[in-house]
Amino acid sequence: MKIEVEDIDQIMQQITNMVPPMHKDDHRILNALKNTIEKNVTVSNSHLQELTIKNEQKEAKMMSLAFLRKDLPLEATEEFKCHIDFIKEQIESKKEASTLQHRTPKHRACVELNDTIENEIRIANENITAIKGKLQRTKEVAEEAFNKSSGRFLKPLEYAEKFFRCI
């Protein structure tokens, strides 16, 4: 079973601080010790490494957002201008087409409009009388349900039952 260590370089630095190497043999021994430790130990990411990775990701994201902040408005304005030009062209073509197609006198259009308005008013008046009749019938049924309850106050379900029996 291998021991998990976060930073081998930090361990080696502490060893060299405790016993500073004086000769070449000391350096060789420290290098051999480092190699032995690396072979027998599992290196895990330290918290500092995780923080640096997250910090680098954050900086990359901020840079991409900064570039988008500059580039996107320019692209949007260009697209918007193209769209406006396209719509202006469509409006001009519609105007030209309408002037060529419609050479009828204006009074005919006014007469047709008045006829349609009169038809709409007539239909609305017919609907109003039908609605008034339905409201009157509903009022009569509600009064009949109350009269059948002999004037005493009932629960809402009882009123509903009597109402639907009257219908």
Q: Are residues 120 and 156 in the same domain?
A: yes
In the prediction, which pLDDT does 41 show? Answer: 80
Query: Which residues contact residue 148 at a Cβ distance below 8 angstroms, ignoring those fewer than 6 apart?
Result: 162, 166
In the prediction, which pLDDT does 58 show? Answer: 92
Higher pLDDT, 15 or 58: 58
Q: How far is Cα 60 from Cα 14, in angstroms, rounded to an integer?
A: 34
Q: Are residues 52 and 69 in the same domain?
A: yes
What pLDDT band is residue 113 in, cutting at 50, 70 and 90? low
Indicate the number of domains in the chain: 3
Mean pLDDT across 145-163: 69
Q: Are residues 72 and 114 in the same domain?
A: no
Q: Collapsing DSSP states into helix, strand and coil, what is residue 78?
A: helix
Q: How far is Cα 167 from Cα 162, in angstroms, rounded to an integer?
A: 9
- Tell whether the model's pLDDT for residue 124 goes beyond 60: yes
Q: Is there a domain that residue 61 lies in? A: yes
Q: Which run of H or of E encompasses 70?
A: helix 47-101
Q: Which of 45-54, 57-66, 93-102, 121-130 has the highest mean pLDDT?
A: 57-66
Higher pLDDT, 36 or 2: 36
**Sign for the pseudo-dihedral over CA of 9, 14, 15, 21:** positive
Q: Are residues 161 and 111 in the same domain?
A: yes
Q: How far is Cα 146 from Cα 116, in angstroms, rounded to an integer?
A: 45
Q: Is there a domain that residue 32 lies in? A: yes
The domain of 126 spans 106-166
Q: Is there a domain that residue 57 lies in? A: yes
Lowest model confidence (mean pLDDT) among 49-53, 120-124, 151-155, 157-161: 151-155
Q: Are residues 127 and 141 in the same domain?
A: yes
Q: Is there a domain that residue 87 lies in? A: no
Cα–Cα distance list, 119 to 31, 63, 112, 133 (Å) = 102, 65, 11, 22
- Tell whether the model's pLDDT for residue 156 goes beyond 90: no
- Tell whether the model's pLDDT for residue 102 goes beyond 70: no
What's the whole-model pTM score? Answer: 0.28
**% of the chain surpassing 70 pLDDT:** 76
In the prediction, which pLDDT does 57 show? Answer: 93
